[in-house]
Amino acid sequence: MAYALVTGASKGIGKAIATCLAKRKFDLLIVARSEGLLQENAAFWKQKYGIDVQYFSIDLTQPAAAEKVVEWINAHHWQVQVIVNNAGYGLWGYFHELTVEAQDKMLQINMQTLFNLTHLMLPHLKNNNPAYILNVGSMAGLQAMPSLSAYSASKAFVNTFSRALHEELRPLDIYVTLLAPGSVDTHFVEVSGMHHMEKIAKKTSMQAEEVAEIAVKALFKRKKQVIPGFPNRLAAYGIKHLSKNRIEKIMASLYRKKD
């Protein structure tokens, strides 16, 4: 079986997607910053599913990260049929109060690393048709979100890039699916600093395992986009048809920084 490359596979949605692929007997190449968690996950998937799992610990916020991942893959001559660009995170706060350095790192991993890795891995996918790319965007990319301005903009890039790429690569027998989840029970609230939203998030969030199963099924059905959960699809419909000004004011009130 050809390999599936999953970034951000140490925990959360990335780990859950990797588990879904392992169940389908894909060998795995898993990439994230935490070597300990990668090693632990790799050992578990090897034992439980009888697959090969290789891991590479790297900080994907670094500008040359994608090139280093591809060099690692090429050095071992692994054949890759599936790419899951999951790694990413958000920063909550006002643009003028967050540092440029912190926002640069977020934009690097959310957009540039995803972009570079996808482009650099295309020769692999062309040689292992049919091939599949799953890009993890977000419902946050469907509209501007004050106090999550850079994050929502980065996910808007992933959303539109993925949908366009679906049409470009389909004739090459490479299929791109955009996963645009709403709130998921992961470490997003903790990492982003949105501790005031923790109670709401726990009530409204989907489980990562449920989102992953929906995403992987959509990927192999060659769907252009999937928004998991009926409430999220209903919200997406509302976002599409309501006034942007009104939505932005609602978002500004909901996510505003409390003194």
Interval 83-112: pLDDT, tens: 999 999 999 999 999 999 999 999 999 999
**Chain-wide mean pLDDT for the chain?**
90
Closest CA to 12 of 207, 196, 199: 207
Q: Please report the DSSP string for 119-136 in residue order.
A: HHHHHHHHTSSSEEEEEE
Work out the percent of the chain whose per-residue pLDDT is above 90.
Answer: 75
Residue among 151, 199, 249, 258 flagged as catalytic: 151
Least confident range from 20-29, 74-83, 139-148, 233-242: namely 233-242
What mean pLDDT is predicted for residues 191-213?
Answer: 69
* Beta-bridge partner residues of 57: 32
Least confident range from 14-28, 165-179, 202-216, 226-240: namely 226-240
**Is 151 annotated in the active site?**
yes
Identify the pLDDT of residue 72. Answer: 98
* Domain range list for the chain: 3-255
Model pTM score: 0.87
- Tens-digit pLDDT profile for residues 140-185: 988 888 899 999 999 999 999 999 999 999 999 999 999 999 988 7
Residue among 3, 15, 132, 155 flagged as catalytic: 155
Closest CA to 252 of 110, 123, 146, 100: 146
Judged against a pLDDT cut of 60, whether residue 188 lies above it is answered with: no
**Does CATH place domain 3-255 in 3.10.450.50?**
no
CA distances to 107, 144, 177 from 216, rounded to whole Å, are 25, 27, 9
